[in-house]
Structure formats: C-alpha cells, structure tokens
Amino acid sequence: MEGKDIQSSMSPVNKKQGGFRAAIFVFVLGALENIGFVANMSTMVLYFHLVMQFDLSTSANTLTNFLGSTFLLTILGGFISDTYLNRLYTCLLFGFLEILGLVLVTIQAYSDKFQPDPCKKSTCVKGGQAIMFYVSICLLALGAGGVKGSITTLGADQFDPKDQKGAQGLASYFNYYQFSVTIGSVIGVTAVVWVAMNKAWYWGFFIGLVATFIGFVVLALGKPFYCFQPLATSPMIKMSQVIVAAIRNRKLSVPENSIELYEIDDKERDASEEAISHTNQFRSLDKAAVLQEGMSPEPWKVCTVTQVEEVKILTRMLPILASTAIMNTCLAQLQTVSVLQGYFMDAHIGSIEIPTASIPVIPLLFMAILIPIYEFLVVPLARKITGHPSGITQLRRVGIGLVLSIISMGIAGVIEVKRRDQALLIPPKKISLFWLSFQYGVFGIADMFAMVGLMEFFYKEAPKGMRSLATSFALLSLSFGYFLSTAFVSIVNAITKKVTPNKQGWLEAPILNKNKLELFYWFLAILSLLNFANYLYWSSWYKYKSDVKDIETEAEAVEGPSTPWGGVNN
C-alpha cells in the first residue's frame, strides 16, 4: 500500500525528528488557523443576522448547526489520518477545503449582489445567494473539521508515552497546544473582530483567510521534522470483525482462564498495533476471541484478545464522551445568545467602544494566563504529590471543568436578570458589557480544565492505531453540545409557550428584552448538575489502561477500591 510506504516508524530517523522541535509547527498552525476560525465563531451570529438577514433564533441555530457539523466532521479527519493518509497529508488536504470555504465567504461578504435584501421571513437568502452561502459554510465546516480531527494527534505523535520523559512531554504538549490555540483565538476575537465590525465584514474574513493559509504553509515546511505513526487497518473494519465474531460465537462458552483466548505473537502483530491485556468488562465480547478446536483463525470468525480489547476501550470511552456534551451546550450559549446580549449592552470603556463579538476574549485571557501557571507551577507540584505525569488524572480535570460550567450558567442567569431589569426602566439604562465577564471568565477556566483533559484522555487511552479517531471524540463532544443547543431551544420554546400566560416561548420573542433567557440559563445549570452526577458514576466506573498491568494483577485492578473521577488507583 503506497500510504504505508511513506510512513516512518515512531522512532526518529535522526535527532531532529520528534519532540517539541516538531510540535512547534503544529503550535503555529493551531494559533494561525484559530485566528480566523474563532473570530468567525464570535461574529457569524451577527453576520447571519445583520448581513444575511436571518432572524435572531435562525441566526443562533445556523451558527450552532455549522459548529456542530464542523466538530462532527472531525471524526472523518481522524478516520482518514488513522487509515489512509498520514496526519500531515490529511491536514493539508482538509486545509485546502477550509481555505476554499474562506475564499467563498469573503467574496459573499464583499459583493452586495451575493447578499439578500431584508424581508419578513426567518431567512431571506434564496437562489444563487443561498447556493453560494451554504456551499461556503459546508466547505468551511468540512475543511476545519478534518483539520481539527488530525492536527492534535500529529503533534502528540512526536512524543513517546512509554518512557517517563516522553509521557511528561506528551502531557505538556496538550497544555502548550491549548495555549497556542488560545493566543490565536485572542487575536481573532479582538483585532479581527474589530476589523470585521468597524471596517468591513469581508476584511475580517480575509484576514482569517491569510492567517490560515500561512499556517498551513508553515505546517508543510515541518515535514522533515515529524515522526509518523504507521497506518492501521480501518478501525471500522476491526470493530465490525469483533462484533460479527462475537455474534457468530454467541453460543460458545468463554474459558475461565483468559490465557486460553486467541492471541498472536508480537512478531506477527501489525506495526500499528500494540498488545493489550485482557479485562473482565464486557465479557460477552470475549466470545469473539474463542477459537474452537480444530478451527483455523480467520477474520470475521475469530479475533485476537488485543482486537477485542480495542473495542472494549472505545466502548468504555462512550459514556465519558456523552457526559461532557451538556457542558458544550452551555458553551454554545456563550457563543450565540450571550453575544446577542452584549449587542444590547453598553460596550464603552471611557470613549472607546469595544466590539460586542469581542467579549469572548475574557475567558481566553483567563486561559492565556492560567495555562502557563498551571503548566509551570501546578503540574510540577502535583507530580511530586501524585507521581502522575500529568499532575492529576485526565478525568479529574474534566470533572473540575464540569463543576465550573454549572457555576457559569448560574451566574449567566443572574446577570441576564440585571441586564433586562435595567433595559426595561423608563428611561432605559444599559449596563456595562463587562458584566458578562463573570460568566465568560468562569467558563474559560472550565474549558481549560475540561478540553485539555479530554484530549489527553482520549489520546492516551485509545488503541495505537485509532488515536486520531479517538482524539476527535473530544471535539465530537462539542458537536453534540451544539446540536443539543439547537434542540433545546426548539423544545423549550415548544413547551413553555403552552404554559406561559402570553403563550410565548422563553426564547421566542423577536426582541431580547421580552424573552426569559435567564430561565433558560438556569435550566441548563440544573441539567448540568444532574449530568455531573451521571459523570461521577461513569468516571468512577472507568478503568484506565494503566490500571491493568498484566493478567496476574487484573483481578486486583478490577476489584480494588474505586475513587471519584477516574476508576482504580488514580
């Protein structure tokens, strides 16, 4: 296979390959690509409303659908980079599509003939305008999703987690990557947003286009420095083989001693695969590894223990993935309705007017300050106490983020009450835009803990040949959150308009001050609290790969005492 010929092993050919020397190119792309992407996340809800003539709810739903699709498509990028192309070529392929989407968005923002006239409908785009609009955002979603599904893993592959130095470097990599993304995001939501809202929309999109193009050029220049993982057999095929074999062998008995299950010698193993010890969870899947007497091992009839364990690992990850979606539903509100809130608040500092869409810079600044403090002060201290390469386990980090997201939504509801009460006075009085900094600041810290923890968790726990696919699960959680946001808005409106005296949903009024946005925020806070209880259960149930050292200690690992946020011996 030609793709495999271009792969080098994980071991560097020379001392210039791998490590932070190679990861720096990934950091540069992470910063430059997010200058435009995060600026678009901040301004597009206003662009849809003010330029493309969507109403408020359609603008918010269009943005959440776009972002949900983007992060859903990270699965495609991860799948391709695990199976068909190396991480670098996957990034460059999808990067081309992202740049093409940015070109079309810029052209539409520049030319009046591609923009609709105002109308009384929820959306006014039609004909050629609609075709260009939806093609551009679909290309943008496909390109950005594919890049984000492979770029993080490309950088992580430059570190060998098998030795202590490599494990610590890998843990630091995820913090540095998040820091580089944060720096690019700060530039995007300040400088680029200011240009878009004060000069012209197309200038904002154009700056993002140029920054993204430069980022991919830099990434390509780093090719001589990268270590590449060998390509693996399609994860979908391997998982399908286990499920089919388990169904075919459903009437067979699983032997008491797991050493009797089918496994191959390491010399016969594919370079993309590493042996995984047997675990007692999901015992029904073990039937896929039962080799009947006199039968030769054939794919789809019998699978190795390692192959079965790979499916078990991905299955164990799914509840963790599902438990973080609600947090990202809360994030969607800060990128949509909170931006609309800011549009009706006083955005002045003295005589200087701050662009409404720049308010997300507050959590980003918190992250830009706290990530280095966490990496250089908190992590070394925590390592000395816990002995863990990351300081604290990944699932504990995620748990802290979930708690802070609950607090953020509670604060958001209180601030909205204050904003609306002031706006309804006679004469009306606008409160400062910077009241929103409380909810944004708390959520920024939450995102720092949860997102970095998730990315590191999925990368470290994933089977070797499925790391891009599994790492994209962290971003898939974002996708679910955005889609849930769209669903919750529709469901809440449908229910509340039946019970409110004026027969109008909480978020249905065309004027923000006539909505009950604070009740929606508190609804999300309560939902997040219930979700956190659900997360505590699944994170305590989860068994890290490192908890099972070998077959002899397996029983002790499974039966040992569990602790919150991370299973046994965390």
119 and 170 together in one domain = yes
Structural domain of 520: 2-231+324-568
Give SS3 for 9.
Answer: coil
Q: How far apart are CA 12 and CA 159, in angstroms?
A: 10
Cβ(64)–Cβ(130) below 8 Å = no
pLDDT at site 567? 38
147 and 25 together in one domain = yes
Strands, DSSP E only, in 252-350?
348-349
Tens digits of residue pLDDT in 177-200: 989 999 999 999 889 988 988 888
CA dihedral over 441, 191, 155, 84, signed as positive or negative:
positive
Residue 482 phi/psi, 5-degree rounding, is -65, -40
The last residue of a domain, from among 276, 311, 346: 311
Residues 6+ apart with CB under 8 A from 431: 345, 346, 418, 419, 422, 423
301 and 366 together in one domain = no
Q: Quick one: pLDDT band at residue 99, thresholds 50, 70, 90?
A: very high
Q: How much is the average pLDDT of 540-555?
A: 59
One-letter amino acid of 138: C
Give SS3 for 351.
Answer: coil
Q: In this structure, what CATH number is given to the domain that contains residue 168? A: 1.20.1250.20
By residue count, the chain amounts to: 570
Q: How much is the average pLDDT of 136-151?
A: 92
The last residue of a domain, from among 311, 339, 373: 311
Q: How much is the average pLDDT of 521-545?
A: 90
Q: Quick one: pLDDT band at residue 142, thresholds 50, 70, 90?
A: very high
Tens digits of residue pLDDT in 6-18: 344 444 445 678 8
Q: Quick one: pLDDT band at residue 384, thresholds 50, 70, 90?
A: confident
Other CB atoms within a 10 A radius of the CB of residue 103 amount to 17
In a domain, 318, yes or no: no
Q: How far apart are CA 479 and CA 459, in angstroms?
A: 18
Tens digits of residue pLDDT in 352-362: 777 777 777 87
One-letter amino acid of 435: W
* CA distances in angstroms from 552 to 259, 275, 304, 545, 555, listed in the order given: 11, 16, 19, 15, 7
pLDDT at site 187? 92
In a domain, 372, yes or no: yes
* Block residue for tokens 């997300």: 360
In a domain, 341, yes or no: yes
In a domain, 267, yes or no: yes
Tell me which residue of 307, 314, 315 sits closest to 262, measured CA to CA: 307
207 and 183 together in one domain = yes
In a domain, 317, yes or no: no
Cβ(539)–Cβ(399) below 8 Å = yes
In a domain, 74, yes or no: yes
Q: How far apart are CA 258 and CA 280, in angstroms?
A: 9
The number of distinct structural domains making up the chain is: 2
In a domain, 200, yes or no: yes
Task: Compute, in degrees rounded to 10, the torsion defined by CA atoms 303, 309, 312, 316.
Answer: -170
Beta-carbon-side half-sphere exposure of residue 403 (alpha carbons within 13 Å): 9
* CA distances in angstroms from 226 to 6, 55, 175, 561, listed in the order given: 12, 47, 19, 41
Cβ(154)–Cβ(88) below 8 Å = yes
287 and 374 together in one domain = no
Tell me which residue of 8, 9, 17, 7 sits closest to 158, measured CA to CA: 17
pLDDT at site 269? 74
Return the percentage of the chain with pLDDT > 70, whole number: 91
218 and 175 together in one domain = yes
pLDDT at site 86? 86
Cβ(109)–Cβ(47) below 8 Å = yes
101 and 172 together in one domain = yes
480 and 360 together in one domain = yes
436 and 478 together in one domain = yes
In a domain, 328, yes or no: yes
Other CB atoms within a 10 A radius of the CB of residue 317 amount to 18
Tens digits of residue pLDDT in 255-289: 888 888 888 887 777 666 778 888 888 888 988 88
280 and 334 together in one domain = no
| Paired tokens of 177 | 């990557």
The last residue of a domain, from among 262, 286, 311: 311
204 and 252 together in one domain = no
Reply yes or no on whether the pLDDT at 138 is more than 70.
yes
Reply yes or no on whether the pLDDT at 70 is more than 60.
yes
One-letter amino acid of 117: D
Q: Quick one: pLDDT band at residue 122, thresholds 50, 70, 90?
A: low
- Looking at per-residue pLDDT, the higher value among 555 and 393 belongs to 393
Tens digits of residue pLDDT in 395-427: 999 999 999 999 999 999 999 999 988 888 878
248 and 361 together in one domain = no
Reply yes or no on whether the pLDDT at 546 is more than 70.
no
